[in-house]
Amino acid sequence: MGGRRRRAVPMGGGVGVRRRATPGLSRPPYPPVLVVHIVYRYISIIYKIKSVLTIIVGKLPKKNTTYGIREILRQRGKRHLILFELYVCGLPNEKEAIYGALDKWTAWETEFPVIAVAKALNILKQRKQWKRVIQVAKWMFGKGQGMTMGTFDTLLLAFDMDQRVDEAQSFWNMILHTHERSISRRLFSRMISIYAHHNMPHHIIEVFADMEELGVKPDEDTTRKVARAFKNVGETEKQQLVLDKYLSEWKYIHFKGERVRVRRKYSWNDD
C-alpha cells in the first residue's frame, strides 16, 4: 500500500524510443549543388537543340509578324517567277498557248498569285515584250483579278508601244465608264501621251475635258501637250488659257535639300 508511484510515460514514447516515419509525406530536400547542376544541364541541352535547328532550318526571324509575312511573300514570289519563266516565257505569241500555260502555272494555287503576276508584268515591261504584256494582262483581267491603276497604266503603255491605238482607246473608254471617279492623274497623262505620240490632238482635248470635269489637275508635261494640241487645231486663245491656268511663270525645284522658287527657262510661246 505504501509502494512507489510509477511515472506516467508520454503517448509519443519515452526517451530513446524511435518514431515511425509516415510513408509518402515528406522527403529530405536535395542538396543545393545538385539542384544547380540539374538546371545547368537542362539549359545547355536547350541551347544545343536551338543551335542544331538553326543550322538545319536557318536563322529564325524575330517575333515580328510583318517581317515574317513579307519574307513568306518574297519567297513565294520568287518561286512563282521561276515557274513563270519555265511555263510562259519560252512560248510563241499565240493566245491559246499563252492562256493554257498561265492556267497551268496557277493550277495548284489556292489563291490567285496577284503579286507574282504583277512582278511578271514588270519584268516583261523591262524586257519590252509588249505583246506578252498584253496577253498576260488580258488573261489576268479575264480571271477578275488585278484591276488596279498600275496594271491599267502598264497595259495602256503596251498598247502604245505595240501600235494598238484603237485597242488603247477602247480600253480607256471602259476605264472611264467603270472607274470614273477614281482615275488617277497618271492614267490621264498616259492617255494624253498616247494620243500625242500618234498625233491625235482632238482626242487629247477630249481627255483634257474629262480631266477638268473630274477636277484632276494636269502636271507640267501634260499641260504643254494639251496646249500644243489646242495650237495644232488653231485654238490659240484656249492654248493661252490652259497655260495661264496650269503653268505659272515660276516653278519650284529642290536644291541642296531645300525647296527653291525659280523662273522657268522657256517661254510659253515655245509650245
Whether residue 183 lies inside any domain: the answer is: yes
Q: Mean pLDDT lowest for which of 5-9, 130-134, 194-198? A: 5-9
Q: Which residues contact 222 (CB under 8 A, 6 or more apart)?
A: 188, 189, 192, 193
Highest mean pLDDT among 70-74, 89-93, 108-112, 240-244: 240-244
Whether residue 231 lies inside any domain: the answer is: yes
Which three cell numbers, joined as nine digits, stand for 220? 507640267
For residue 66, what pLDDT is reported? 47
The pLDDT of residue 268 is above 50:
no
Whether residue 175 lies inside any domain: the answer is: yes
Residue 54 near residue 60, CB atoms below 8 Å? yes
Where do runs of H (alpha helix) occur along the chain? 32-57, 65-84, 95-105, 114-126, 130-142, 149-161, 165-178, 185-197, 201-214, 220-232, 236-246
For residue 87, what pLDDT is reported? 57
Per-residue 3-state assignment (H helix, E strand, C coil) for 133-149: HHHHHHHHHHCCCCCCH
Whether residue 75 lies inside any domain: the answer is: no
CB atoms within 10 A of CB 10: 8
- CATH value at residue 155: 1.25.40.10
- Using CA atoms, how far apart are residues 36 and 66, in angstroms rounded to an integer? 40
Whether residue 82 lies inside any domain: the answer is: no
* Structural domain total, the chain: 1
Arithmetic mean of pLDDT, 178-190: 91
Whether residue 53 lies inside any domain: the answer is: no
User: pLDDT class for 270, splitting at 50, 70, 90?
Assistant: very low
Q: Quick one: DSSP state of residue 180?
A: G
Arithmetic mean of pLDDT, 57-66: 49
Structure confidence by residue, pLDDT tens digits, 202-227 = 999 999 999 999 999 999 899 999 99
For residue 60, what pLDDT is reported? 47
The pLDDT of residue 72 is above 60:
no
The pLDDT of residue 22 is above 60:
no
Structure confidence by residue, pLDDT tens digits, 113-129 = 888 888 888 888 988 98
The pLDDT of residue 230 is above 90:
yes
More confident residue, 230 or 74: 230
The pLDDT of residue 264 is above 90:
no
Nearest Cα to Cα of residue 228 among 183, 195, 185: 195
For residue 123, what pLDDT is reported? 85
The pLDDT of residue 90 is above 90:
no
Per-chain mean pLDDT for the chain: 78
- Using CA atoms, how far apart are residues 250 and 195, in angstroms rounded to an integer? 28
Domain of residue 197, residue span: 147-271
User: pLDDT class for 189, splitting at 50, 70, 90?
Assistant: very high
Residue 220 near residue 251, CB atoms below 8 Å? yes
Whether residue 97 lies inside any domain: the answer is: no
Whether residue 4 lies inside any domain: the answer is: no
Structure confidence by residue, pLDDT tens digits, 134-145 = 999 999 999 889
